[in-house]
Amino acid sequence: MAYKLYGAALSPYSARCRMQMYAKGLEFEAISVFDKLSPEEFANLTPLKKVPALDADGLILPESQVIAEYLEEVETDIPLMPATAEERARVRLLARIGDLYLMMPLGKLFGQVNPQGRDPKLVQYMFGELDKAMGWLAHYVDGSKYAVGDKLSLADCALIPMLFFSSNITPLFGRECMLCETPVVHNYFTNTLDDPAVGRVLQELEEAFAKMMGPKTEPQKQPAE
């Protein structure tokens, strides 16, 4: 099957899908929405106008979780969901914690990176929410290489890009190593770097983040779920 993944280099949701596709050994064309499509063209592709969007032989799917589940159902040679119902439930729970409780404050903080116009009360509140999310995440991971079981799963694909943003955005607000404050989460994140799919995606994110923080005075907005 021919795949095209429409995304943005710095989007954690796009990174989530790329990690899954790398781990499954899938060939795909990665298309940067900002570089290749006008807003009108992207709206014609998906009215949600959010990245990522997957083109699977003409089937257009938005929403990273929907894409992830679809790929698991049609590309079964290398599964990224565990065999047992209990472990599959843990994968879904961890991805849910990331989507609802990690990315919400991280997204708000991303919009406050530029000190000019920063809202201190909003920043303080969002750090409180982020601290809670880290505590909840720490309850469900044990610091091992992978979030669930002994191999990469959809939980890692969801969480690792988000933790990358936690480790790179929060120092801009004076929290030099927020992950270090929750050792079990920090250990999980650093141990997982040895996985080839994780390493490849993090290198892409690091390059995109460095480009964003280079000569520009304020970050570009990235469409995200």
For residue range 32-64, list pLDDT tens digits in order.
998 889 989 999 999 999 999 999 999 999 999
Q: What is the pLDDT of residue 217?
A: 40
| Domain encompassing residue 176 | 85-213
Domain membership of residue 107 (yes or no) is yes
In the chain, the number of structural domains is: 2
28 and 112 both lie in a single domain: no
Report whether pLDDT(209) > 80: yes
Closest-CA residue to 153 (of 216, 93, 217) = 93
Average per-residue pLDDT for the chain:
94
Mean pLDDT of 140-145: 96
Task: For residue 219, tell me if it sits in a domain.
Answer: no
Q: Which of 25, 42, 74 is the last residue of a domain?
A: 74
On whether both 11 and 115 belong to a single domain, the answer is no
- Do 205 and 131 reside in the same domain of the chain? yes
Domain limit, last residue, from 27, 55, 74: 74
Residue 74: burial class (beta carbons within 10 Å; 0-12, 13-18, 19+) = exposed
Both 115 and 209 in one domain: the answer is: yes
User: Both 193 and 100 in a single domain?
Assistant: yes
Residue 220 has pLDDT above 50, yes or no: no
Following DSSP, what letter does each residue of 144-206 receive, concatenated? SSSSSTTS--HHHHHHHHHHHHHHHHGGGGT-TTTGGGSHHHHHHHHHHTTSHHHHHHHHHHH
Q: Average pLDDT for residues 173-178, to the nearest whole number?
A: 94
- According to the model, what pLDDT value does residue 212 have? 87
197 lies in the same domain as 105: yes
**CA separation (Å) from 116 to 112, 113, 120?**
9, 9, 11
Tell me the C-alpha distance between 1 and 142, whole Å: 37
